[in-house]
Amino acid sequence: MQKISAVAGVVILEMIRRKDVYVLFFLTALITLVLGSVDLFGDAKIARYLKEVCLTLMWMSSVIIAVFTAARQIPVERESRTLFPLLAKPITRSEVMLGKFLGCWLACCISLAAFYLLFALISGIREQHWPLANYFQAFWLHCLFSGIVVALTLLGSVWFTAVSSNATIVLSCVVGMLLLGRHLHKVAVKAGGIAGHFLDGLYFSLPHLEWFDVRDLIIHNWPRMDWTIVGQDTLYACAYAGCFLALACWRFRRQPIH
């Protein structure tokens, strides 16, 4: 565990040094504040549109951070040849992979914490309403989502040769699943035949990333979800992230690094 956390620590330090997260955070804050300053019929209590814009930007930023942080880990180490001295130390390839995952995931969680703090402040000031438990649920589900995406990207990074192709494929899959995941079964029923069976297979086998997106519940001030549901989501996310990580470790162990 010590070796894994050491690798993870390096990844977190790297994220702190890089400027991507700061730029995305600054842009999110700037756009939200500019939109918040718009006068809408002199009613300062109108807040939901602002929450929607802020959350959408946060989701976009989080996907970009998760995918691009995870996608470059192994290939960059390999290109800069820092992977060889790392593996020359008493550390297994699986531990390197797990360390990379932990580092990327924690980095995502740290950046998400900053984003959600900003969101809570903006919506709280605007609405004079602080449903912190709801925000924590949304934050935690968002972290779980990032975990699955990071694991999937790490798997892609040992599968595809280029960072760009990996990032593009993972981004397409994630966005596609977020938009269509909920509706695959309906489309399958309408399609019927082999196509219907294929789509149903996808529906049941692919991770339902849209479950972790509870923006509508937050935007429209719905009551918080049952904690049991959140617990089930946590198990679901752990299972999928674990599955992707196991595959990534297996592939990385068998892969020639030269």
Sites of contact with other proteins (CB under 8 A): 38, 40-43, 45-49, 129, 182-183, 185-187, 203-204, 208, 210-214, 216-217, 219-223, 225-226, 229, 232
Q: Smallest distance, Å, CB 195 to other proteins?
A: 16
Closer CB to other proteins, residue 220 or residue 253? 220
Gyration radius from the chain CA atoms: 20
Closer CB to other proteins, residue 53 or residue 86? 53
Which residue reads 């959408």 in tokens?
56
d(CA 144, CA 88): 33
Q: Smallest distance, Å, CB 214 to other proteins?
A: 5
Closer CB to other proteins, residue 51 or residue 93? 51
Sequence-ordered list of residues with C-beta below 8 angstroms from that of 21, at least 6 positions apart, any chain:
15, 65, 107, 111
Q: Smallest distance, Å, CB 55 to other proteins?
A: 12
Query: Which strand (E) or helix (H) includes residue 258?
Result: none
Q: Looking at the chain, how many residues does it have?
A: 258
Q: Which residues of 164-178 are buried (b: 16+ CB within 10 A; e: fewer)?
A: eebbebbbebbeebb
Q: Smallest distance, Å, CB 171 to other proteins?
A: 22
Q: Which amino acid is at 230?
A: V
Q: Smallest distance, Å, CB 87 to other proteins?
A: 40
* First CA to last CA distance, the chain: 27
Q: What are phi and psi of 161, to 5 degrees?
A: -80, -40
Token digits of residue 210:
């849209």
Q: Smallest distance, Å, CB 166 to other proteins?
A: 27
Closer CB to other proteins, residue 90 or residue 223? 223
d(CA 241, CA 238): 5
Closer CB to other proteins, residue 41 or residue 254? 41
Closer CB to other proteins, residue 114 or residue 206? 206
- In 13-58, DSSP assigns E strands to none
